[in-house]
Amino acid sequence: MLKFALPLHLTLRSFAWGLSCVVVGAGAYADKPAAPPVWTLGDPHLDVVPRTPQEAKRISDVTAMPTDFSVPHRFEEKSAGAATVRVANSADAFSRPSGNITFEDELNFKVGNGLFRKLWVSAPASTLASDGLGPLYNARSCQRCHIKDGRGHPPEQDDDNAISIFLRVSIPASATAIDTVKAAEIAGYIATAPDPTYGSQLQDFAVQGHASEYRLDVQYTERAIALAGGATASLRHPEYKAADLGYGPLHRDAMLSPRVAPQMIGLGLLEAIPAADILAQADPDDADGDGISGRPNVVWSVEFDRPMLGRFGLKAGSPTVKEQSAAAFAGDIGISSPLFPAGAGECTDAQTACQTAVHGDGDNRGTEIDAEGLELVSFYSRNLGVPARRDVGGVDVLRGKQVFHATGCAACHTPSFVTHRLRDQPEQSFQLIWPYTDMLLHDMGPDLADNRPEARATGREWRTPPLWGIGLTQQVSGHSYFLHDGRARSLLEAVLWHGGEAQTQRDAVVDMSIADRAALIAFLESL
């Protein structure tokens, strides 16, 4: 059970972000002064023991950037602290529980895993505990998108389904009469609304008797990149189309964004990073002049009915593991929960057959997945263990680590944090972790832009993705596709797609020697 604690008194105003909303494209609250914030950005989802001054000093020392690259940094082989797990030599490397989990909680983890893997069926069915699928959906289980708890991929050929990628969709809120008064409390919030016909994501499957919403069509064009030392690389530029629309045209102002399912490891540890530590790295006006302007996303929490720091999702659009899980049940599978109780899932009022269909919430569960089931899935997601680093003392890895820092990659991919000391989550409590993310939004330039805002994130901004486990992608997922839509086919391609705030770092990689590029990739593959 989640418990409440007094939040940290850190307001948006304390970071001098102004009282007027930032205007970014259609749908922003233009020319409307924002009321002074009456809320704080803390961690109400966690039962926190405050840090002592002595602990704060120890944390500052242990998370300081390295200066000696001749030997591994102290403790860095333990990516998740005591929660780290040994590397399994199989595709199950991301599917093990936290290394410090208790025997009793390992049972809860396994039950949560069963619910995560469960195939839902359409209602009515004799298996009352498993009915309620759809009627429109992207997958029949969580595991079908997050295969082996790893990352998804775009379709690889014409006959490959798009089960681990979908299109998000929204329109500017100014084009609708939707009530966004709560979101208006968040300075800089960019108001959007679901497409009036298709909702907030497109589902490419439907139960019998219903039409699916679309078919994802992806076309690529290749562009060669010359690298120093006579090497070359090629980037594939994707074009996405929502083909074979089942319910008429999209809204004329519809904004589409492709999303590949991300890996699941370490989510509970990311949730346990103090908001204060994340906010302390924000530099929205680039006051230090390094070209990096990380900004926190701030979202309205359905779970807590208040603004919170966004942490999860490719644009940090969700504040907690539980809320992210419930939203995925609703949007991806069409399963209702106490946080999102609509039996029709993502169906809109315009989809009358979906709204009037039989749903699976008519028994004593109340919703298609009940509160206990949602808690178990959240516990499972929170406790998927992070594998230990490999070859941390290797000559190429240490050289690559030095290149990583010298190039400025650590300005966004912050190596380490220490999590909150927590009363009721021992697995995540007071751990030195190495996720290589600042959890902030960054402008990644026009080539990676989806031109679709999400809360305070603009159409060019993405949350810095954690890098831990990235070297095991091929082993776990059977591919090496990266970025929000899987367009990059290697770690080098992923780096070469960087632009905007990371343009300088990207250009440095293009211009560096072949040996240094190889060392940088060796370091990333060790994470």
Q: Cα(465)–Cα(347) distance, rounded to whole angstroms?
A: 30
Summary mean pLDDT of the chain: 90
Report the pLDDT value the prediction gives residue 125, as an integer from 0 to 100: 86
Given pLDDT bands bounded at 50, 70 and 90, which one contains residue 178? very low
Number of domains, the chain = 1
pLDDT tens-digit series, residues 348-381? 999 999 999 999 877 767 899 999 999 999 999 9
Least confident of 18-27, 236-245, 470-479: 18-27
Q: What angle do helix axes 103-117 and 371-382 make, rounded to 10 degrees?
A: 110
Q: Which domain holds residue 61?
A: 12-526
Q: Is residue 170 part of a domain?
A: yes
Tell me which residue of 472, 433, 416 sits closest to 82, measured CA to CA. 433
Q: Cα(270)–Cα(312) distance, rounded to whole angstroms?
A: 9
DSSP three-state, residue 301 = strand
pLDDT tens-digit series, residues 51-99? 999 999 999 999 999 999 999 999 999 999 999 999 999 999 999 999 9
HSE-up of 2 (CA within 13 Å, CB side)? Answer: 22
Beta bridge partners of 218: 240
Q: Is residue 369 part of a domain?
A: yes
Per DSSP, 69 falls in state -
* Non-local CB neighbours of 173 within 8 Å, separated by 6+ positions: 27, 180, 191, 192, 193
Q: Is residue 428 within 8 Å of 419, Cβ to Cβ?
A: yes
Beta bridge partners of 312: 318
Q: Is residue 20 part of a domain?
A: yes
Average pLDDT over residues 185-210: 93
pLDDT tens-digit series, residues 263-311? 999 999 999 999 999 999 999 999 999 999 999 999 999 999 999 999 9
Q: Is residue 157 part of a domain?
A: yes
Q: What share of the chain is helix, strand, coil (3-state, %, to 5)?
A: 30, 15, 55
Q: Which two structure tokens, joined as six digits, stand for 108?
A: 């809860």
134: left (phi over 0), alpha (psi -120 to 50) or beta: left
Q: Is residue 7 part of a domain?
A: no
Residue 288, φ and ψ in degrees, nearest 5: -90, -5
Q: Is residue 447 part of a domain?
A: yes
Q: Is residue 3 part of a domain?
A: no
Q: Is residue 515 part of a domain?
A: yes
Kindly report the pTM of this predicted structure. Answer: 0.91
Beta bridge partners of 85: 387
